[in-house]
Amino acid sequence: MSEQHSKARHRRGRKALAVGVPLALTVSGVLAYGTDLGFLGADAQQRAAAATAAAPAWAKATADGFASLNSLGQNGTYGGRDAQIVTVRTQADLEKYATAAEPYVIVVAGTITMNPVGKEIKVQSDKTIVGSGTAGHIVGGGFFLGTGVHNVIIRNLTIRDAYQGIWNDKDHDFDAIQMDGAHHVWIDHNDLRHMADGLIDVRKDSTNVTVSWNKLSNDNKAFGIGWTDNVVTDITIHHNWIRETEQRNPSTDNAAHAHLYNNFLEDVAGTDIKSSYGNYSRGKTKMVLENSYFQGMNNPVIKDSTATLVQRGSVFSGTSGRNESGGTAFDPKTYYAYALDAAANLPALLKSEAGPRSSIGTTSSAGTSTKAAATTLTVAKDGSGQYSTVQAAVNAVPANNASRVVIAVKPGTYRETVKVPSNKPHVTIQGTGGSRKDTVIVYNNAAGTPKPGGGTYGTGGSATVAVEADDFQARNLTISNDFDEKANQNLSGHQAVALRTAADKVFLDGIITEGDQDTLLLDTAAKDRLGRVYVRNSYITGNVDFIFGRASAVIDRSVITLKKRWDGTSAGYVTAPSTAANRKGILIANSAVNGDVSASSFFLGRPWHAGGDATLDPQTTVRNTTLSAAVKSTPWTDMSGFSWKDDRFAEYKNTGPGSGAAGSNRPHLTDAQAAGQEVADWLGDWTPTAS
């Protein structure tokens, strides 16, 4: 943040307010709260210090966007970080801790029905209120943050059902979250729906607010900002899925800086709820709108004559009416760093990742993790971790380890190859940055690259990361092969694998895999061995056979990006399964296939009978997935003398310009057949769980 902006914020004349616990004071519970802790005795101080040291990562999460800035006497938004963690299951306990003067991390571990209906708990400063997995529900009421309340985080909750039977209700001001004059508030990963009035109201000079990764739905008024003549509010709104809401999506009145990016606004056809408008810049608002997706919205973007609105990079699909911009606003990057997702990817991304997540805030009644603590090894290029390379950390995992080992990799680019051998199961490689783009493991071997000891690597040997151990997980990172085909035309064998798996129970969650030919090899340890792989909330980029192998693999709620060839041409194949007979092959479900390539240039797949093995029975099913115009109208093709019609290739209820009606060259599953080709059918007795 610039010095000029910081000074301007302090000139608003507000009194500096007490803040939460600074990071520098977290050595012990005593230091965090002063010398006597007030309400705690000496024994309790020791317990608090121990609890602080063991606090899970989600309890230390901090906001991004305008909520992260240092202003009004508050340096960022971190809620009750380093404070006592308490678990609540009743309205009385929730009120007790939320309204307390002391900082708390409050875990909502069940459904709390508010009495009376419409009650909004008056949250005080320095609080984190977080749902335990997906179990935290607030029914028939919500939260209120009054004047001067600051440093509050509300995450991972479902707040719902205060609706009183009147659609545009003027008599019941029942909101999910309302703030009047609050500052430094982060609303993240919540499901807000079916309330009597607004889902979120940011009112009366509330500022330094970030609203991210939420689902807002089934309501007349989604999200209002303003109710003041003062041009004060600074707000960031990103990665929210707003659907089936009529107005205020959001309506932004007299906001000094409103930064809206990567939101998905959806008006579903054939329902009773019709959108009046989408994003609205009014009064003296300065709004920057970037890379959002508007589906079926009426008047998707509107502005007053007095407001400014700069928009760029958004997608408008099936919209009608006003779509406006004008004036100059501001550059958000002068205030904070952020990265944009491509607008076309948002429907798949937000349908999978917005709202409460099962892996956040899972605690016991004592406030401690319900899972056995994993061993954690840290990797950092700058020497601040235990290891400076990922492979060194893998090497440190004991052979035949019986419990989970998490390799936490700090942001940076790690140019190396990594192999997790079969005798090191239960390994997780996890990036620790704010984005999966922050931590990158990359190398550039290809099938034809000479090996130091002679010969070449071959396709499987070219992998940047090779996983041969069962129960492997990867999340929040990028795995890439950046082999340069154009510069190596004299090389024989341009297959260049980013990630190869040859194991069972492999969970790839929230990652990016990038390459050209043969990006993602999903294999098994042997032809007769089961190898299940579940890929969720991820991005996969390539051009030729770039999802391939004999594993029983699910690509779920992910984005598959088609890439041009090295010479600029558009042609390729998404999948090349080599499935053994009587096994499941590749299932792509609830995802999106798109990319900056020519129309009708890519096949969905072709049968890979590895080594000419006629006993194989390759399978790809693509279902409930959005297909761009890049997909051919005859999406399957033959390979190496084997006809795709002799194997198992089918679609079911796909959408988008690349989808098509059933025919002899485009088989569709019947409803009965589709019932046996669900995600659970691929995974069997395995339920992937983040660990």
Residues contacting residue 551 through CB under 8 Å, at least 6 positions apart? 501, 506, 522, 523, 524, 531, 532, 533, 586
User: What is the predicted pLDDT for the residue at 26?
Assistant: 24
From the candidates 518, 523, 617, 647, which is the catalytic residue? 518
The token pair that represents 562 in the structure block: 């088609």
**One-letter-per-residue 3-state SS of 170-223:** CCCCCCCEEEECCEEEEEECCEEECCCCEEEEEECCCEEEEEECCEEEEEEEEE
Classify the C-alpha dihedral 228-230-232-237 as positive or negative: positive
310-332: average pLDDT: 96
Res 23 pLDDT > 50: no
| Most confident of the ranges 51-60, 132-141, 339-348, 498-507 | 498-507
CA distances from 610 to 172, 386, 520 (A): 66, 41, 16
Q: Answer yes or no: is pLDDT of 613 > 50.
A: yes
Tens-place pLDDT, residues 515-542: 999 999 999 999 999 999 999 999 999 9
CB atoms within 10 A of CB 99: 12
677 against 165, higher pLDDT: 677
Q: Give the pLDDT confidence score for residue 48 in this predicted structure.
A: 39
C-beta separation of 434 from 407 below 8 A: no
Q: Give the other-Cβ count within 10 Å of 85's Cβ.
A: 23
**Quick one: pLDDT at residue 169?**
76
Q: 545 catalytic, yes or no?
A: yes
**Per-residue confidence (pLDDT) for residue 652, from 0 to 100:** 98
pLDDT band at 11 (very low <50, low <70, confident <90, very high): very low
Query: Helix (H) and strand (E) counts for the chain?
Result: 9, 53
Residue 10 predicted with pLDDT over 70: no
Among 371, 572, 394, 398, CA closest to 474: 394
Q: What SS3 class is residue 105?
A: strand
Write down the pLDDT at residue 172.
82
Per-residue pLDDT tens for 355-381? 998 765 433 322 333 334 468 899 999
Mean pLDDT, the chain, whole residue set = 89
pLDDT, position 374: 65
Q: Is the pLDDT of residue 112 over 50?
A: yes
**For range 188-202, the mean pLDDT:** 93
User: If DSSP codes are grouped into helix, strand and coil, which group holds residue 679?
Assistant: helix
> Among 547, 619, 634, which residue's Cα sits nearest to residue 582?
619
Q: Residue 111 has which token pair?
A: 């459904």
The backbone torsions φ and ψ at residue 217, rounded to the nearest 5 degrees and listed phi first, read: -155, 165
Q: Is 170 exposed, middle or buried (0-12, 13-18, 19+ CB in 10 A)?
A: exposed
Model confidence band, residue 44 (pLDDT cutoffs 50, 70, 90)? very low
Within 10 angstroms of residue 644's Cβ, the number of other Cβ atoms is: 22
Q: What is the pLDDT of residues 254-297, one digit of tens each?
A: 999 999 999 999 999 888 899 999 999 999 999 999 999 999 99
What Rg do the C-alpha atoms of the chain give, in angstroms? Answer: 26
With a cut of 80, say whether residue 54 has pLDDT above it. Answer: no
Cα–Cα distance between 472 and 100 in angstroms, integer? Answer: 43
**Which residues lie closer than 8 Å to 567 by C-beta, 6 or more apart?**
486
Q: What is the pLDDT of residue 59?
A: 83
Q: Which one of the listed residues 175, 219, 438, 545 is annotated catalytic? A: 545
Which alpha helices (H) appear in 65-176, and where do they start and end?
A: 91-98
- As a whole number of angstroms, the distance between CA 459 and CA 463 comes to 8
pLDDT digits (tens, 9 = 90+) for 435-458: 899 999 999 999 999 999 999 999
Catalytic annotation on 647?
no
Checking 165-173 for CB contacts under 8 A at 24+ apart, the result is: 166/196, 167/220, 168/220, 168/246, 169/196, 169/197, 169/220, 172/118, 172/196, 172/197, 173/118, 173/197
Categorize the per-residue pLDDT at 167 as very low, low, confident or very high, splitting at 50, 70 and 90: confident
**Are 606 and 574 in contact, with CB atoms under 8 Å apart?**
no
pLDDT above 70 (res 103): yes
Please report the pLDDT score of residue 39 as a whole number. 27
**Mean pLDDT score, 458-466:** 98
